[in-house]
Structures are given as C-alpha cells and as structure tokens.
C-alpha cells in the first residue's frame, strides 16, 4: 500500500487554468502509483512529505528494489516533455542525468537521483562558469544513425520561423522597442537560419541550460549533470543565453553591461564555443522572449529581456531599470 502523492500547490495553480491541465492534475497521483508498481519502487519523500517540482512536472524521490536511490518524474504532456526522454537516451548519462526507464503513456521517467540541494545556482560565479562549460562540452554530441535524432526540431528552422513571426508580433504590440534591436535579431535569423545553417556544426542542444538546471552528482561525487532538457539540434552556442538572463544580480554594480558581455565570453570559452555566435544567438533569443513577455503583459520580465538583448547587441536601451533592479528569475 503506497501513500498517495499529492501535487504541490504551486504546480496545481499553474495548470488548473485549462481543462487539459485540470485533467492532468487529477491523473498525476494515479500515474505515480502506476509507475511505483511497474518499476518496483518505494517512496522516499523528504521530511516535509512534499515531492519536488518544476514548471511542468512533479519529481518524486524513490528507492528501487535493490535499495538504490532514484527520482520518478511525471511531466505535463507538452512537446518538450515528449522530447526529453529522446534526448536523455541520446546522451546516455554523459553530461545529463541518466534515464533508467520511461513510460510515454503516462509521461513518466525513472532517473538517477542527483543532489537537488547543490546546483550551479549556489556556486560562486568563478566556479559555476567552468562547471557549466564542462557539462556543456559533454552534452555536445553530433547526430548519428540512432532513430531519436529524426524526432528532434532544428534551431535553424526555429530561426526561420522567428524571421516571419517577430516583425509581425512587434508591430501588433505597437513597436514596444526600437527597430534597430528587432533588426539585430532578424540578422541572426538570416545568417543562421536554413540558408546559413552549417550542418557540420549540428549538435544536440539543451536550450534551457541555466544554473538551476545543472545539479551535482550524488554522494559527494565530483562533477555536475544537466536536468530538464528542452532540446533542439543546431549550434551549441544557442545554449549560452539562459546563463545571461539569470544571475544578473551577481554582476558587479559598476559597468554591469560590460560585465555581462565578459560573462558571455567566459561561458563560451569554458565550453569551447564561438563567443560572437553565442552573443548573436542571445540577442535573438531575448528579443523573442521580450515579445512573448509583452504579449502576456509581463512588463518586468520584458524589461529584463530587453536589457540583456540590447546589452549583448552593444547598445543598452535607455529608460530600463538598472541591472540590479531587474526582475530576477533564479
């Protein structure tokens, strides 16, 4: 007999706004119980009895039949969740958390358990940057004959789509930032989209590799591994941007803009990436983020995106809050 696992309140609030979300919330406890039974697992919840969770999934610490520690993840059904087990299978535990089993019918994955208390978010930047670079270098695997590759979207196709969508959204929103910044983003679409794509550069890219998505190996073992991959295939440099829009408050107060650009360079060097290309992708990604935030009336988040995008483009927009007053993510 198992203790019924309840969905944390924050995750419930996020998904109860839609019929699909409400249905999934109702099914989650049953999905967890089904996975516990089919993989012969026992709950190993923390003292407060609450499972862990992210934006779109619940993670339950469990014990396997042999007593080993693992983590059971049940994800809300969306495109990125469908791709996650494909990506983890391709990485095979190199640079990313190892997947031990999965059941797509209930959106469940059994994963090795990492140390949830130790992410790159807790490390000083001088330690976090080389650790991030080491993980990124491991994740950079090239396409091969395995069938999972055929299911994954391409960054170049995303850039092509942005080249059509971004100008239209920008105009519909009343041109919320100067045209030059939009054009800087569109130039990246033109140079790195389908026409400019270099297939020899294609690798599997974790596109949400921010500091909190890199956890320490368990039991004091050295090194870190990535979790919660959102994946596309293309330039590895596409992965740098999330580390620029997070931990802005850790930048020095004086000449913060130059410090952000130095951080981008340091991250790129640590992972063996092209610094200029990483900066260009960051401009495009944050322009797209800004427009998305404006569309959802999230003005403070839009300001942060505009600060990062314009700073990486070399011309920080006037009228924005100071860097350390921007809305923080992590």
239 class by beta-carbon count within 10 Å (0-12 exposed, 13-18 middle, 19+ buried): buried
In this predicted structure, the answer to whether residue 12 has a pLDDT above a threshold of 90 is: no
Q: Which CATH class is domain 9-113?
A: alpha beta
The residue with greater pLDDT, 329 or 235, is: 235
Which pLDDT belongs to residue 218? Answer: 86
Q: How many CB atoms lie within 10 A of CB 144?
A: 8
| 154-166 per-position pLDDT tens digit | 999 999 999 999 9
Of 83, 105, 107, 85, the residue nearest 97 (C-alpha) = 85
| Confidence band, pLDDT 50/70/90 cuts, at residue 195 | low
User: For residue 324, is pLDDT > 90?
Assistant: yes
C-alpha distances out from residue 19 to 2, 15, 23, 39, 194, Å: 28, 9, 6, 30, 37
> What was the pLDDT predicted at 220?
73
Distance between alpha carbon 138 and the CA centroid of its chain, in Å? 16
The total of other beta-carbon atoms located within 10 Å of residue 321's CB is 12
- pLDDT tens sequence across 102-125: 999 999 999 999 998 999 999 999
The CATH 3.30.200.20 domain(s) of the chain lie at 9-113
Record the tokens describing residue 281, joined without a space. 């992708």
Dist. CA 260–CA 326, nearest whole Å: 14
Residue 280 has pLDDT above 90, yes or no: yes
This prediction has a pTM of 0.93
Quickly state the pLDDT bin for 1 (edges 50, 70, 90). very low
Burial zone of 193 (CB within 10 Å; 0-12 exposed, 13-18 middle, 19+ buried): buried
CATH 3.90.1200.10: which residues of the chain? 118-325
Residue 5: its pLDDT value, please? 85
DSSP, residue by residue, 191-258: HHSTTT--GGG-EEEETT--GGGEEEPSTT-S-EEE-S--EEEE-GGGGSGGGTSSSGGGS-STTHHH
Using one digit for the tens of pLDDT, what is the confidence trace for 206-263?
A: 999 999 999 999 877 789 999 999 999 999 999 999 999 999 999 999 999 999 999 9
- The answer on pLDDT for 17 being more than 90 is no
Least confident of 19-23, 25-29, 191-195, 279-283: 191-195
The whole-number pLDDT of residue 196 equals 58
Banded model confidence at residue 3, pLDDT cuts 50, 70, 90:
low
* pLDDT interval class at 194 (50, 70, 90): low
The packing angle between helices 256-271 and 275-295, to 10°, is 120
CATH of 118-325, one of 3.20.20.140, 3.90.1200.10, 3.90.420.10, 3.40.50.720: 3.90.1200.10
Q: What is the mean pLDDT of residues 35-41?
A: 96
**Range in 47-51, 66-70, 116-120 the model is least confident about:** 47-51
């Amino acid at each position: 007999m198992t203790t019924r696992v309840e969905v944390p309140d924050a995750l419930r609030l996020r998904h109860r706004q839609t019929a699909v979300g409400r249905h999934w919330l109702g099914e989650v406890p049953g999905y967890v119980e089904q996975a516990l039974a089919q993989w012969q697992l026992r709950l190993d919840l923390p003292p407060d009895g609450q499972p862990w969770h992210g934006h779109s999934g619940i993670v339950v610490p469990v014990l396997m039949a042999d007593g080993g520690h693992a983590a059971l993840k049940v994800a809300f059904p969306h495109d990125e969740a469908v791709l996650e087990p494909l990506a983890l299978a391709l990485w095979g535990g190199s640079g990313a958390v190892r997947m031990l089993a999965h059941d797509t019918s209930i959106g469940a994955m059994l994963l090795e358990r990492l140390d949830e208390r130790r992410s790159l978010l807790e490390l000083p930047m001088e330690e976090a940057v080389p650790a991030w670079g080491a993980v990124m270098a491991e994740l950079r695997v090239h396409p091969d004959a395995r069938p999972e590759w055929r299911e994954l979207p391409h960054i170049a196709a995303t850039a092509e789509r942005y080249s059509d969508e971004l100008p239209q959204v920008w105009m519909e929103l009343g041109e919320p930032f100067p045209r030059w910044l939009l054009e800087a983003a569109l130039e990246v679409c033109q140079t790195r989209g389908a026409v400019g794509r270099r297939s020899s550069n294609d690798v599997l890219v974790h596109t949400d590799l921010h500091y909190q998505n890199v956890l320490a190996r368990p039991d004091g073992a050295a090194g870190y591994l990535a979790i919660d991959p959102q994946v596309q295939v293309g330039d590895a440099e596409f992965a740098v941007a999330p580390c620029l829009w997070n931990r802005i408050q850790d930048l020095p107060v004086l000449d913060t803009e130059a410090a952000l650009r130095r951080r981008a360079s340091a991250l790129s060097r640590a992972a063996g990436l092209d610094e200029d290309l990483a900066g260009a992708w960051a401009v495009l990604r944050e322009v797209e983020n800004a427009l998305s935030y404006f569309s959802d009336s999230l003005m403070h988040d839009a300001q942060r995106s505009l600060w990062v995008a314009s700073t990486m483009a070399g011309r920080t927009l006037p009228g924005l809050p100071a860097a350390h007053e921007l809305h923080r993510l992590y």
